[in-house]
Structure 1
């Protein structure tokens, strides 16, 4: 019998996390060890809003590819650079495979940038009947059973190990953790590669540029501070996160989140 490998993850990227926590339940689980080089985790979102109002959940996306099961046919979702939201109604379940940054490249066997901001039918990448697989995933029941179905699906034709995935994932992880990195040349220098080499790696494996990744990680930081109810000095934060001035941070934040940072902070802490 499979052992459930539950993951305690952050809410980074989930906008208005306090409200979200009252509207749905999110669990994350590690894949089988043979898939750990490619897959970060599986996620399951369950909600029951019967008798209540629908909930519109907005996300500040990450630089990852996902396979999603839920409404409609199963699909491969490339990195989403713009705004993303999902309307939850009634009662439901959504399940996903979140790949590591770079981890989908060995399955796709093509540059990941070719599917950025695109959605593919599952059968375009995997030799599987999507309808049958989705039925198995959504009817599996407990989280452990869902994870087992996903393991079996991905282990049907696992790709060869690719050491570049580890390098790319490490670069993205450093960009997320080290708030002092605000320029691509600084990130490239930490790994002793040229900026051009890093740009090519990201186009091939991540799907977006290193500049986009750095900027998105800084927006995650800004949104998280605002959601905590911190009294944010937006001008000082803009400088800390590498923006030329507060106006540039406000513009990027508003475009990605949907509202200006000051309004988001008020709404998220209400």
Structure 2
């Protein structure tokens, strides 16, 4: 089993990651070679807050399908368009499979948008019940054995590689890494693809539209920078993210994060830390 290197420890959408580090343990593990065109990584979260206050972990979703294995709550979950929260309490463990953007469609063979707000039973795709998967992956045992088991389970249903899925993954990577990609028109021009075709492709392979994917990454960047105290001037932050209209930035931020940028910044740094955080 190869554990995924953290590098600069990207949050993967976990807000206020430094505080979360003290509440739970998160590891990521690479899939087998055969699955890498489809699966980004496996992730395992474990915690023991027995006798301690529960901790609400807020997450900005990525444009990926996840198989989440949790006691009495095991499903395939499609991408979401806004922040969600998970209450970490007591003692527990969750095992997850994070598919590449576009990587779940070859298993599903119907538009991934059908999963929006509609989790899918694992037995629809895999020859296993949720209960048996929970028993196998959430009990005691070595993480290497667990990832090897899920490798075998997914490889038993391995689809043919899909050139369209590979292209969608490349497009999403470009959105994530290139901050010049601010509008759907920018993507259409770069990929020489009509906007409507791009939207149909994302509907089929990703599950949410390209405009939403752009917003998720940009606003996730904004929230992470505020978490770390790297941006004191919200006007400059909005401009750095490509927003020329402050009200547009505020509206988008609230639609994804659930609060205005100023409210979010105050919640992370209520005393301003002597840095003049709001300008």
TM-score (norm 2): 0.90
- Give the Cα separation in 2 of the matches to 1:258 and 1:212: 15
Q: Cα offset for 1:267?
A: 3.2
Quote the offset at 1:124 in angstroms: 2.3
- Check the 8 A contact 2:82/2:257 in 1, yes or no: no
Distance between the aligned counterparts of 2:228 and 2:176, measured in 1? 18
The answer (yes or no) to whether the contact 2:3–2:27 under 8 Å persists in 1 is no
CA distance in 2, matches of 1:162, 1:140: 36
The two structures, once aligned, show a CA RMSD in angstroms of 1.7
Aligned to 1:119: 119
Q: What's the counterpart of residue 6 of structure 1?
A: 4
1:79 matched to which residue of 2? 79
Shift of the alpha carbon at 1:167?
A: 0.6
Q: Is contact 2:199-2:210 (8 Å) kept?
A: yes
* CA displacement at 1:5 relative to structure 2: 3.6
Matched, 1:227 2:227: yes
- SS in structure 2 of the partner of residue 7 of structure 1: coil
Deviation at 1:258, TM superposition (A): 2.7
The number of equivalent residue pairs is 268
Aligned to 1:241: 241
SS in structure 1 at match of 2:235: helix
Native 8 Å contact 1:15 1:223 kept in 2: yes
Judge conservation of contact 1:40–1:99 (CA < 8 Å) in 2. Answer: yes
Structure 2, unaligned stretches of length 5 or more? 271-279
Contact 1:14-1:59 within 8 A present in 2 as well: yes
Residue aligning to 1:254? 254
Normalising by structure 1, report the TM-score. 0.93
String of CA shifts for 1:70-121, please: whole Å, max 9, x gaps: 1314201011113311111111101100000000000111011111222111
